[in-house]
Amino acid sequence: MSELSTRTEALAAAHASGGLLVLPTVWDTFSAQVAADAGFAALSIGSHPVADSIGSQDGEKMDFGQYLQITRRIVDAVNLPLSVDVESGYGLQPAELIGRLLEAGASGANIEDTVHSQGGRLRERAEHADYIAAARQAADEAGQPFVINGRTDAFKAGTAVFADPLAEAAARIKLMEQAGARSVYPVGLGTTDQVAAMVQAVGVPVNVTAHPVNGHGAGGLGELQALGVRRVSFGPLWQKWLAELSSKQLAAWLPRP
């Protein structure tokens, strides 16, 4: 069995285990090694923190080839499965996207329904589910149990776009589960009731974003686990917290007149 297959099967098994998987969101080999040394079983690579670390911007403004080079360096630095945030796919067809991710050593990917290259429009429900299904097919044809984390920004879009954003998010994650997503990610959840509604809507793990110190609006690790949350990532929040902490500490070293 190849190293990629070993890692990808481990990530898929962790998602199917029924347990809670925390994937610290990293952006370079240093942050990945810190998280690996802390004992986590898998990691996520975030487009936002990677973009900030190289002087670019989130929203598919990075060169995708450069992003994959960074991914490969992280893959080579830690002996852990890695899920990569590819936003809406960087304009690539699903088969090409999955092929390039597998070549870079990724074991999973976060695929969202906000198409940044088209003015930030949200894909229609079926349109995004079809994209997920095609990505699932490409991974299956490659013989890899690649973990697709289907993300929707429907709840985040709010009532300016949807009459009932929570119901819209629930409908979308159900379709993504049916399309082959092995976890789903309704972004923007902030309360216990909102999280519980999403967990009850699907049978695959629901991903929530938490702050590594302050937790989530629905609580900390224990509270999220009690709600049935089975996947947690940090998004850009770990990097932002480190920046705030570092700025405060470094300011003490500024010479005074």
pLDDT in tens, 105-115: 999 999 999 99
Between vectors from CA 212 to CA 156 and to CA 253, what angle results, nearest 5°?
115
Closest CA to 206 of 215, 9, 188: 188
Give percent of the chain above pLDDT 70.
Answer: 100
pLDDT in tens, 98-138: 999 999 999 999 999 999 989 999 999 999 999 999 999 99
Residue at token pair 């936002």: 48
How many residues would you count in the chain? 257
Q: 231 CB contacts (<8 Å, ≥6 apart)?
A: 15, 20, 21, 22, 23, 149, 183, 185, 205, 206, 207, 208
Considering the chain, what is the average pLDDT of its residues?
A: 97
pLDDT in tens, 153-178: 999 999 999 999 999 999 999 999 99
Record the tokens describing residue 176, joined without a space.
């993504």
Is the pTM for the entire model greater than 0.75? yes
pLDDT at 36: 98
pLDDT at 224: 98
pLDDT at 21: 98
pLDDT at 56: 95
Torsion angles phi and psi, residue 196, rounded to 5 = -60, -40
pLDDT in tens, 21-67: 999 999 999 999 999 999 999 999 999 999 999 999 999 999 999 99
End-to-end CA distance of the chain: 63
Q: With the C-alpha atoms ordered 165, 17, 30, 63, is the resulting torsion angle positive or negative?
A: negative
Domains of the chain plus CATH, in order, are 3-251 (3.20.20.60)
pLDDT in tens, 172-198: 999 999 999 999 999 999 999 999 999
DSSP 108-124: EEEE-SEEGGGTTEEPP
pLDDT band at 257 (very low <50, low <70, confident <90, very high): confident
Q: With the C-alpha atoms ordered 206, 207, 213, 214, is the resulting torsion angle positive or negative?
A: negative
Model confidence at 1: pLDDT above 70 = no
Torsion angles phi and psi, residue 186, rounded to 5 = -80, 105
pLDDT in tens, 81-100: 999 999 999 999 999 999 99
